[in-house]
Amino acid sequence: MNETPRPAGRPRNAEHSRKAHQAALDLLREHGYASISMEAVADRAGIAKQTLYRRWKHKSALILDAFAEQADQLPTLPPAETPEEDLLVFARATCRTLSGECGTLNRALMAEALQSPEFLVDLRERHLSKRRRQLRGIFVRQQTGLDEHQLDLLIDLMLGPIWYRLLIQNAPLDDAFADLVASNTLVAMTALARPA
């Protein structure tokens, strides 16, 4: 008699994941990144600590998972009529998002990533790449005709100053700064798109 083989391991419990994500984010808001532990998340979520460790190797992986899922739910930016408006909307939305709790978490995750090459790859692929793809889409939509290397450079020129200010905290991520970053990126885009 042929029997259908059972899948290896236990299936992931969606309710456990939801509770763990919520508990991690709640503890983050209440106490900050450094004070969070897997034990505290397990207690808050009402889940066995071993269950958490079967899904996430350490707290940074759990928090990144929760944060990336939350970031996926952010509304997409509607296309604008001009390249200047497109970049202004993107820069302002990015700076405003990073000015609050989201910025605090990004700094904590980046600090962790700088200590762990493996986690840096996860952070880049699960979170940071999303904003880069969104910005790349703006440049492509404007039909600049730039190659991949030029597009990567423009993305770095746009996001680099924002991340520097986020991490160093030498000045606010306000609209005036966002507008300056957008306008200078537009100048660079126009220069790169100009025929030699």
Asked, for residue 5, whether it belongs to a domain, the answer is no
Provide the pLDDT for residue 179.
Answer: 97
106 and 150 belong to one structural domain? yes
pLDDT band at 12 (very low <50, low <70, confident <90, very high): low
Across 168-190, b (16+ Cβ under 10 Å) vs e yields: eeeeebeeebbbebbeebbeebe
pLDDT band at 7 (very low <50, low <70, confident <90, very high): very low
Percent of the chain with pLDDT over 70: 91
156 and 171 belong to one structural domain? yes
Provide the pLDDT for residue 162.
Answer: 97
Q: What are 114-164's pLDDT values in tens digits?
A: 988 998 999 999 889 988 998 998 888 877 789 999 999 999 999 999 999
Asked, for residue 162, whether it belongs to a domain, the answer is yes
Asked, for residue 96, whether it belongs to a domain, the answer is yes
Asked, for residue 4, whether it belongs to a domain, the answer is no
Stretch 61-74: mean pLDDT: 80
Provide the pLDDT for residue 68.
Answer: 84
Provide the pLDDT for residue 152.
Answer: 95
Q: What are 80-104's pLDDT values in tens digits?
A: 788 889 999 999 999 999 998 888 8
61 and 94 belong to one structural domain? no
What domain count does the chain have? 2
What does the alpha-carbon distance between residue 20 and residue 24 come to, in Å, rounded to a whole number?
Answer: 6
The residue with greater pLDDT, 22 or 195, is 22
Provide the pLDDT for residue 171.
Answer: 97
84 and 150 belong to one structural domain? yes
186: domain range? 75-193
184 and 94 belong to one structural domain? yes
What does the alpha-carbon distance between residue 44 and residue 175 come to, in Å, rounded to a whole number?
Answer: 38
User: Which of 6-10, 22-26, 32-36 is least confident?
Assistant: 6-10
Across 19-49, b (16+ Cβ under 10 Å) vs e yields: bbbebbbebbeeeebeebebebbbebbebee
Chain mean pLDDT for the chain: 86
SS3 161: helix
Provide the pLDDT for residue 74.
Answer: 60
What does the alpha-carbon distance between residue 129 and residue 114 come to, in Å, rounded to a whole number?
Answer: 17
